[in-house]
Amino acid sequence: MNRTTRATHRFRGAVAGIVATVMMFGLADLIARAFTPSAAPLLTLGQAIIPLAPPAAIKPVIALFGDNDKLVLVLSTGLGAIVLAGLIGALAASRRRLATTLLIVAGLVPVVVIIGRPEADALDLVPALIGFAVGITGFILLLRLGLSAPPAEAADRADVTRGSRTSDPLSRRRFFGLAGAVGAIGAASIAAGQTIVSLTQDAGAAVAKLVLPTAAKKAAAIPAAASTDLDGTVPFVTEAKDFYRIDTVLSPPVIDPQQWSLRIHGMVDQEVTLTMDDVLDLPLEEHHITLTCVSNPVGGELVGNATWLGYPVRELLARARPSADADMVLSHSFDGFTASTPLGALTDDRAALLAVGMNGEPLTPIHGFPARLVVPGLYGFVSATKWVTELEVTRFDEKTAYWTDRGWDALAPILVASRIEVPGPLATVPAGDIQVGGTAWAQHSGIDRVDVKLDDGDWTQADLAAEVTIDTWRQWRAEFAEVAAGSHTLTVRATDKDGTVQTSKRRESIPNSATGHHHIQFRVE
């Protein structure tokens, strides 16, 4: 084979590998989206990478892409698969059998990952297997058409049986025709799969099935005085659509409330199982609670405040009667995530809830529909299990949770924190009196005071908006008179009701929250 033919064959091999892979993923994705969404191969592959990724690598990705981190992961998984398929295809120019074997092995990876999931059932394999079979067949056909001079060991057979297909312009047209068709089917399948996703998620059929009862115990109305009314301050109640989202799933599980149940088991006298109807028949309570993520950087946005409707976990546990030597509840999610919460925080008088509602609506799929936990005073990773299905009563020395196994603390009470929201970072404000404001939180202790400092000046005590409960954040504001033109720095710190002053010591979020004072720079003109 001369050099030009070899180069042509490499190119065609690469094209064959790429379009066959697009078709493999596309068909499998489309079939999965229609019948068993959690088994979509690209999602499952991306999902399989998440727990393997070192926490040190996760942080920069989240910092760089924010809420798009999941999309970036899926796209890079897909891109990685395509590059690999292109390389394997190019190899077919010289080693056709080896290349075919490699593509078969690579194509089986998603199949293996799909069976490997704890929640897998046999039907989940169907989409991946169909995609695999069609994709590999496409690859083999394309190689036959496109690689007109087969490798030495297959040359005789191929030349005798299919001598005619070697005529170049015709084979070229056929090859690219078929490759185009295969690629187009793959791309169309991906698009159709995405359409199914947006239709099923927009329609919210599962969410619409759940009709919330009115609360037996309503939360007190939020007084106007809970807001400082300073323009630019984050609203006191965070709407679900603006509420931060943190979890390890690429697409939220869509759970039919009629299929959902909560099982309380482990070190208990009486195992208890509740259906959604059981939960909705209970006298539900409404509570205002601010939720925070341990990964929130100083001044960051991984914090939100909502009115939750639910039933006290304390009462649920009382039905099961935990044994005296239990000290932890390991809550399990439908998706396999777990959180370890001190039993004491779930049985004392705080409003630890099995929540089904958020701001007067059922939970949204990304915030845990149909049910999740919310525990005032603890970071989300040790308490706020979304899509919760089990409460396992156990001991800290017997079981560990998802993030504990990845280097984070088992116990994680929320640390006092505050941030500046006005002026915005690097804002330019007119000379004169400067209005400053923001939010502070120290859930389940409450905010006692907030101090702000301009440049190297003295700490100035800020005015606090009304406290709604000790479990909610608190807005603050202050005024600095006659600030001179030029560049300035503002610094804030809060003190909680236990007397703990927010430390200025800078620290990473792993293993139990970043610390330090929030600073911003702004200009006066």
Binding site for ligand MTE (CB under 6 A): 243-248, 291, 293, 333, 335, 337, 367, 380-381, 384-387
In the bound state, the residue with its beta carbon closest to ligand MTE is: 380
- Least distance from ligand MTE to the Cβ atom of residue 381, Å: 4
Q: Which of 468, 81, 155 is nearest to 305 (CA)?
A: 468
Instruction: For ligand MTE, give the closer residue by CB, 151 or 252.
Output: 252
By CB under 5 A, the residues from 249 to 268 that bind Mo ion are none
CB of 434 to ligand MTE, least distance (A): 33
293 binds Mo ion (CB under 5 A): yes
CA 466, 372, 65 angle in degrees (round to 5)? 80
- The distance of closest approach from Cβ of residue 292 to Mo ion in the complex, given in angstroms and rounded to an integer, is 8
Exposure of 93 in the CB half-sphere (CA atoms within 13 A) = 19
Tokens of 484: 């001179």
The helices-and-strands tally (H runs, E runs) of the chain is 12, 19
What tokens appear for 349 in the block?
């008088």
**Beta carbon of residue 448, minimum distance to ligand MTE (angstroms, whole number):** 25
Compute the least distance from the CB of residue 146 to ligand MTE, in Å: 45
Binding partner of residue 333 among ligand MTE, Mo ion, none, CB cut-off 5 to 8 Å per kind: ligand MTE
Q: How many Cα atoms are found within 13 Å in the side-chain-facing hemisphere of 67? A: 8
Select the binding partner of residue 480 from ligand MTE, Mo ion, none (C-beta < 5 to 8 A, by kind).
none
384 binds, among Mo ion, ligand MTE, none (CB under 5 to 8 A by kind): ligand MTE
Partner touching 286 among Mo ion, ligand MTE, none, CB below 5 to 8 Å by kind: none
Residue closer to Mo ion (CB basis): 385 or 475: 385
Partners of residue 463 on adjacent β-strands: 477
| Binding site partner of 408, from Mo ion, ligand MTE, none, Cβ cut-off 5-8 A by kind | none
- Is 382 a residue that touches Mo ion (CB under 5 A)? no
Provide, rounded to whole angstroms, the least separation between the CB of residue 21 and Mo ion.
Answer: 35
Q: Give ∠ CA 350-288-443 in degrees, rounded to 5.
A: 55
**Cβ of residue 379: shortest distance to ligand MTE, in angstroms?**
6
Cβ contacts of 20 within 8 Å, gap of 6 or more: 85, 89, 103, 135, 136, 138, 139, 142, 182
If you write DSSP's letter for every residue of 466-521 in order, what string do you get?
A: PPS-TTS-EEEEEEEEEEPSEEEEEEEEEEETT-PBPP---B-STTT--BS-EEEE
Residue 14 identity: A
In the complex with ligand MTE, the residue whose CB is nearer, 9 or 70, is 70
Give the nearer residue to Mo ion in terms of CB position, either 132 or 408. Answer: 408
Residue ranges in 114-143 that form contacts with Mo ion under rule CB under 5 A: none
Closest separation between CB of residue 379 and Mo ion, Å? 6
Residues binding Mo ion: number (CB under 5 A): 4
Cis upstream peptide for 423 (omega within 30°): yes
Provide, rounded to whole angstroms, the least separation between the CB of residue 333 and ligand MTE.
3
Q: Which amino acid is at 524?
A: V
Please give the single-letter amino acid code of residue 458.
D
Q: In angstroms, how far is the first alpha carbon of the chain from the final one?
A: 74
Residue (132 or 403) nearer to ligand MTE, CB: 403
Interface with Mo ion (CB under 5 A), residue from 381, 387, 402, 473: 381
Closer Cβ to ligand MTE, 139 or 243, answer by number: 243
Binding of Mo ion by 246 (CB under 5 A): yes
Residue 260 touches which of Mo ion, ligand MTE, none (Cβ within 5-8 Å per kind): none
Residue 304 within binding range of Mo ion, rule CB under 5 A: no
Nearer to ligand MTE, 126 or 336 (CB): 336
CB-side neighbour CA atoms (13 Å) of 215: 21
Q: For residues 248 and 275, which CB has a smaller minimum distance to ligand MTE in the complex?
A: 248
Check residue 401 for interaction with Mo ion (CB under 5 A): no
Closest listed residue to residue 471, CA positions, set 315, 288, 341 = 288
Q: How far apart are CA 417 and CA 49, in angstroms?
A: 32
**Residue 107, contacted partner among ligand MTE, Mo ion, none, CB below 5-8 A by kind:** none
Q: Which alpha helices (H) appear in 147-204, and where do they start and end? A: 152-162, 168-203
Give the separation between CA 8 and CA 178, rounded to whole angstroms. 16
Least separation in angstroms between residue 374's CB and ligand MTE is 9
Told to check if 380 binds Mo ion by CB under 5 A, we report yes
Beta bridge partners of 309: 286, 357
Residues making contact with Mo ion (CB under 5 A): 246, 293, 380-381
